Amino acid sequence: MTLQGSLTHERYCAEVLAETERFRSALRGADLAATVPTCPDWSLAALARHVGAAHRWVGTLVATRATENVDEADIPGAAGPAGDDPAALDAWLAEGAEGTVRALREAGPDAAVWSWAPVHTAAFWARRMAHETVIHRADAALTSGAAFDVPPEVAADCLEEWLQLCALPMAAEGGARLLGPGRSIHLHATDTPPELNAEWFIDLTGRTITHRRAHEKAAVALRGPLTDLLAVFYRRLPADSDRVEVLGERALLDEWLAEMSFG
Structure confidence at residue 250 as a pLDDT band (50, 70, 90):
very high
pLDDT at res. 46: 96
CA dihedral angle for residue 227, residue 15, residue 192, residue 183, rounded to 10 degrees? -60
In the chain, residues under CATH classification 1.20.120.450 are 9-148
pLDDT (average), residues 209-224:
96
Q: How far apart are CA 50 and CA 44, in angstroms?
A: 10
Q: Specify the CATH number for 153-259; select among 3.40.50.800, 3.20.20.60, 3.90.1150.10, 3.30.1050.10.
A: 3.30.1050.10
Structure confidence at residue 262 as a pLDDT band (50, 70, 90):
low
Q: What is the pLDDT of residues 226-245, one digit of tens each?
A: 999 999 999 999 999 999 99
Least confident range of 166-170, 189-193, 256-260: 166-170
pLDDT (average), residues 34-38:
96
In the chain, residues under CATH classification 3.30.1050.10 are 153-259
Do the beta carbons of residue 35 and residue 139 sit within 8 Å? no
pLDDT (average), residues 141-163:
96
Q: How far apart are CA 115 and CA 125, in angstroms?
A: 8
Partners of 211 in the β-ladder: 202
pLDDT at res. 168: 83
> For the chain, where are the E strands, in sequence order?
35-36, 39-43, 184-189, 199-203, 210-212, 220-224, 245-248
Q: Give CA 99 to chain center in angstroms.
A: 20
3-state class (DSSP) for residue 81? coil
pLDDT value at 1 more than 60? no
Q: How far apart are CA 213 and CA 2, in angstroms?
A: 14
Q: How far apart are CA 226 and CA 192, in angstroms?
A: 7
* 223 vs 261, residue with greater confidence: 223
Alpha carbon separation from 243 to 198, 222, 224 (Å, rounded): 17, 11, 7
Q: What is the pLDDT of residues 80-110, one digit of tens each?
A: 999 889 999 999 999 999 999 999 999 999 9
Do the beta carbons of residue 185 and residue 205 sit within 8 Å? no
Quote the mean pLDDT of the chain.
Answer: 94
- Bridging pattern class, strands 220-224 and 184-189: parallel
pLDDT at res. 70: 95
Homologous superfamily of the 9-148 domain (CATH): dinb family like domain (1.20.120.450)
